[in-house]
Chain A
Amino acid sequence: MSEPKSAPAEALLSLENISLSFGGLKAVSDVSFDIRKGEIRAIIGPNGAGKTSMLNCINGFYHPQQGRITFKGRTRKSMRPHEAARGGIARTFQNVALFKGMTTLDNIMTGRALRMKRGVLWQLLRAGPALREEIEHRRFCEEIIDFLEIEHIRKTPVGKLPYGLQKRVELGRALAMEPDLLLLDEPMAGMNLEEKQDMSRFILDVNRRDGTTIALIEHDMGVVMDISDRVVVLEYGRKIADGVPADVQGNQKVIDAYLGVPR
């Protein structure tokens, strides 16, 4: 369990009364919570609780019918995905969403796309400023590759990689964006114990070293309780608990949701 922060930091992102439905199906109803600057915030809940829909609302892929999203002090109802990316929100996906025909290095380099400014004509020549820029960003990406220990697959097309490594590459692509808020959707699904330990280490390092705020969805309760600062619990699209791991663990509603109670 990580150390409690000395003073509650300001909220980087807050969600107020978010409701989202597809046709008649309510995916999320009236959920509010916030994510503080610098913390690791876990979102947990049984399958179909609306966790991924929540992340999709945050980075603008879904537009909630009701509610307000405040990010970095700016309040809005919804935004376009690339606006969210520009604002500093990066994410990984439950079913890996890498660019399968491209190499590991190229995948991570796409995370730098927003920061590369040289015009088409310089890129055409691939000389002078464009080449310098390319090399500068290559250096940045190589640091991420070193950090994630994926040097050996640098030039392998990611479609050919095993699942665990793909998850790592995807994290690398998100890190290349140098995000303020990193959304991780089940980063450890389908991994064995060692892979989970590695991934937890990467997540904690990113949080401690770069001060990146992280929101993560995860089913492995051991990992969640170990690495997160605060946990929010969803069930059937509603929030049923919110607090530090110890509180949530003891919450009767949460225990019922996971173990099931006769109703």
Chain B
Amino acid sequence: MAGFGSFLEVLISGLLAGVLYSLVALGYVLIYKASGVFNYSQGAMVLLAGLALVRALGFFESQGIPYAAALVLALLFAAAVMALTAWIIERFILGPLVNQNELTLFMSTIGAAFILEGVAQMAFGSEVYPLRMFPKDAWILGEAYFPGGILINKLDIWGGVIAAVLVAAIALFFQRTKTGRALRAVADDHLAAQSVGIPISWIWFVVWFAAGLVALAAASVWGTKLGVQFSITFLALKALPVLIIGGFTSVPGAIAGGLIVGAGEKLAEIYLGALIGGGIEYWFAYVLALSVLMVRPQGLFGERLIERI
């Protein structure tokens, strides 16, 4: 039974880690679904949000403000930073690029990623800053059934809760609000949306701000896990396979993709890694994503395009 116990532990920790990837992937889906832009700078936004949060928290605490109040203030400050970022990106980068093709927009977000990384580190510093928003200890479950029990991190559970809240909020936003419907129109066709009077710049600001808030949520969890540091931007690369497995446009897809990648990665590392060498976590998710795409080129939950001529 030890084998099954450890399998279960690996599976559960993988699934929970996957939810954390989904947190980052949600930011991409939001922007792609709403503006047709593939936002490479999502990772940089997580870094910026995390740095703003952790440095503001430190500042407010050093002023003698109690932790809870300081945390609220710091969250508000970081949200304001993300709002400013959204405004600047819309005003100076995406606004002038309306109606350009996907590739140009994608490249411009790589440019934006460089700018954000530079600005974030210049303004808030470039060291590793520990964050302790969430508990980092673990529960041990099922000791009666398995020797040693199953280890579950409380942080991962928090990540799951936050992801669930975000998904519900985003779904409501897209389906039930006027802005949400306008967003979908803009994603379909910039020009057509403009011509029926949808204020595209306002829409883009809203959606980038929302993605900024998602980045803030991701930063609070990942920052607790790893400390806020530059390498957090590499999360972007971790979230991409999640994104293509789920489909660029699907919110549930981002969650499902995260679960698949998280579980697959951990299981592969333990069982396959023993055969062909360690560190396969590095590429396994991508090969998994590639295989999914070979079967379903639009991802598991993506919308299928009918080719016409």
- Chain A complexes with chain B: yes
List the interface of chain A (C-beta within 8 A of B). 22, 56, 61, 93, 95, 97
> Which residue on A lies nearest to B307, using beta carbons?
A61
Docked complex Cα distance between A93 and B306 (Å): 17
Docked complex Cα distance between A56 and B308 (Å): 10
Docked complex Cα distance between A93 and B309 (Å): 7
Query: Which residues from B are CB-within-8-Å of A97?
Result: 309
Query: Which residues from A are CB-within-8-Å of B306?
Result: 22
Could you tell me the distance in whole angstroms from the C-beta of A227 to the nearest C-beta in chain B?
A: 25
Query: Which residues from B are CB-within-8-Å of A93?
Result: 309
Give the secondary structure class of A's interface.
loop
Residues 274-309 of chain B, each 1 if its beta carbon lies under 8 Å from chain A, else 0: 000000000000000000000000000000001001
Query: Which residues from B are CB-within-8-Å of A56?
Result: 309
Query: Which residues from B are CB-within-8-Å of A22?
Result: 306
Counting chain B residues whose Cβ lies within 8 A of the other chain, the interface size class is under 10
> Which residue on B lies nearest to A93, using beta carbons?
B309
Docked complex Cα distance between A97 and B306 (Å): 17
Could you tell me the distance in whole angstroms from the C-beta of A90 to the nearest C-beta in chain B?
A: 14
| The 6 A-B residue pairs with the shortest CB-CB distance in the complex, in nearest-first order | A93-B309, A97-B309, A61-B309, A56-B309, A95-B309, A22-B306
Query: Which residues from B are CB-within-8-Å of A95?
Result: 309
Query: Which residues from A are CB-within-8-Å of B309?
Result: 56, 61, 93, 95, 97
Could you tell me the distance in whole angstroms from the C-beta of A92 to the nearest C-beta in chain B?
A: 11
> Which residue on A lies nearest to B306, using beta carbons?
A22
Query: Which residues from B are CB-within-8-Å of A61?
Result: 309
Could you tell me the distance in whole angstroms from the C-beta of A57 to the nearest C-beta in chain B?
A: 13
Docked complex Cα distance between A61 and B308 (Å): 9
Docked complex Cα distance between A22 and B307 (Å): 12
Could you tell me the distance in whole angstroms from the C-beta of A139 to the nearest C-beta in chain B?
A: 31
Docked complex Cα distance between A95 and B308 (Å): 10
Docked complex Cα distance between A61 and B309 (Å): 9
Docked complex Cα distance between A22 and B306 (Å): 10
Docked complex Cα distance between A67 and B309 (Å): 22
The residues in B between 79 and 101 inclusive whose CB is less than 8 angstroms from any CB of A are none
Could you tell me the distance in whole angstroms from the C-beta of A230 to the nearest C-beta in chain B?
A: 26
Docked complex Cα distance between A61 and B306 (Å): 12
> Which residue on B lies nearest to A61, using beta carbons?
B309
Docked complex Cα distance between A242 and B306 (Å): 32
Could you tell me the distance in whole angstroms from the C-beta of A173 to the nearest C-beta in chain B?
A: 14
Could you tell me the distance in whole angstroms from the C-beta of B99 to the nearest C-beta in chain A?
A: 14
> Which residue on B lies nearest to A81, using beta carbons?
B309
Could you tell me the distance in whole angstroms from the C-beta of A178 to the nearest C-beta in chain B?
A: 22
Could you tell me the distance in whole angstroms from the C-beta of B232 to the nearest C-beta in chain A?
A: 39
Docked complex Cα distance between A56 and B306 (Å): 14
Docked complex Cα distance between A250 and B128 (Å): 86
Residues 5-21 of chain B, each 1 if its beta carbon lies under 8 Å from chain A, else 0: 00000000000000000
Docked complex Cα distance between A57 and B306 (Å): 16
Docked complex Cα distance between A245 and B306 (Å): 36
Could you tell me the distance in whole angstroms from the C-beta of A195 to the nearest C-beta in chain B?
A: 23
Docked complex Cα distance between A95 and B309 (Å): 7
> Which residue on B lies nearest to A22, using beta carbons?
B306
What would be 6 A-B contacts, judged by CB atoms less than 8 Å apart? A22-B306, A56-B309, A61-B309, A93-B309, A95-B309, A97-B309
Could you tell me the distance in whole angstroms from the C-beta of B308 to the nearest C-beta in chain A?
A: 9
Docked complex Cα distance between A97 and B309 (Å): 8
Docked complex Cα distance between A166 and B306 (Å): 25
Could you tell me the distance in whole angstroms from the C-beta of A239 to the nearest C-beta in chain B?
A: 23
> Which residue on B lies nearest to A95, using beta carbons?
B309
Could you tell me the distance in whole angstroms from the C-beta of A52 to the nearest C-beta in chain B?
A: 9
Could you tell me the distance in whole angstroms from the C-beta of A40 to the nearest C-beta in chain B?
A: 23
Could you tell me the distance in whole angstroms from the C-beta of B287 to the nearest C-beta in chain A?
A: 30
